[in-house]
Amino acid sequence: MRKNIVAGNWKMNKSLAEGIQLAKDVNVAVEAAGALKCDVVVAPPFLHLTEVSKVTGPKVSVSAQNCAAEASGAYTGEVSAAMLQSANIPYVIIGHSERRSYYGETDAILAKKADLALINGLKPIFCIGEELSQRDSGKYFDVVGQQIENGLFHLSANDFAKAVIAYEPVWAIGTGRTATAGQAQEVHAFIRKTIAAKYGEEVAGNTTILYGGSCNENNARELFACPDIDGGLIGGASLVADKFIRIVTSF
């Protein structure tokens, strides 16, 4: 059966010292929480990754927030999937809506990133989600279906099975306006159905699909109780260890 995951996306927050402290606090809280019903992932900025790895134990995995769309070479400022692998980073977030909208990352670029992540043994946390106008015009199924198809459906079933999907409606990210459990479940069920049509019921049933967008310690329980919601990708609420742990223990 599929795994539940709660992943904290720190985005561009925390100095190195603050990030190490947050990772230590999360690690202590996870250890103290005993048996969990989910895997825990934290995604600090690139600079923090190796230091955060050193202060987290086996119950907290580390993720990058991005990787380059090229394998290596003259790409100033980029960090490759191979570099992440060499630093023993197991996960990478790909296609976050902030990357899509502020940095012009297209489906084609994201498909290349997914390939490079998989070639280098990283598990992609692949983000999809519609904008407010697309929600309001009722096009959200089309948008989400296209994003997953264009970004991931060139993969073999074996490779696809290594990916985690994060449904993050753009209108819910950082806005305090979370999707209702009903709205989120509707899209998660659609995503799983779309995966089943391409790769079959078994792969679809084993795919972890996270919800993201103003998920916090107050609404996580209701969201995670939905049959097709397998955890969360958490932004703001992952920056405070106590809040993050309350989300982790919401299953």
Among 10, 164, 236, 250, binds ligand PGA (CB under 6 A): 236
Continuous segment of H or E residues that includes residue 53: helix 49-55
Place of tokens 């790909």: 94
Cβ neighbours of 15 (radius 10 Å): 11
For position 250 contacting ligand PGA by CB under 6 A, the verdict is no
- Which of 117, 143, 232 is closest to 179 using CA atoms? 232
- Token readout for 49 is 């990754």
Q: Give the angle 205-37-48 at the CA atoms, nearest 5°.
A: 100
| CA–CA dist 46, 157 (Å, integer) | 30
Among 39, 115, 168, 217, binds ligand PGA (CB under 6 A): 168
Could you tell me which stretch among 32-40, 47-55, 151-159, 206-214 binds ligand PGA (CB under 6 A)?
A: 206-214
Over the window 4 to 23, marking each residue x when it contacts ligand PGA by CB under 6 A and - when it does not, the resulting string is: -----x--------------
For position 66 contacting ligand PGA by CB under 6 A, the verdict is no
Among 109, 215, 220, 248, binds ligand PGA (CB under 6 A): 215
For position 235 contacting ligand PGA by CB under 6 A, the verdict is yes
Dihedral (Cα; 115, 119, 120, 126), 10-degree rounding? 30
54 to each of 34, 87, 112, 147, 232, how far by Cα in Å?
A: 21, 11, 30, 35, 24
Q: Smallest distance from the beta carbon of 236 to ligand PGA, in angstroms? A: 4
| CA–CA dist 192, 144 (Å, integer) | 11
For position 45 contacting ligand PGA by CB under 6 A, the verdict is no
Q: Smallest distance from the beta carbon of 80 to ligand PGA, in angstroms? A: 23
Q: Smallest distance from the beta carbon of 237 to ligand PGA, in angstroms? A: 6
Among 66, 208, 214, 219, binds ligand PGA (CB under 6 A): 214
* List of residues contacting ligand PGA (CB under 6 A): 9, 168, 173-174, 212-215, 233-237
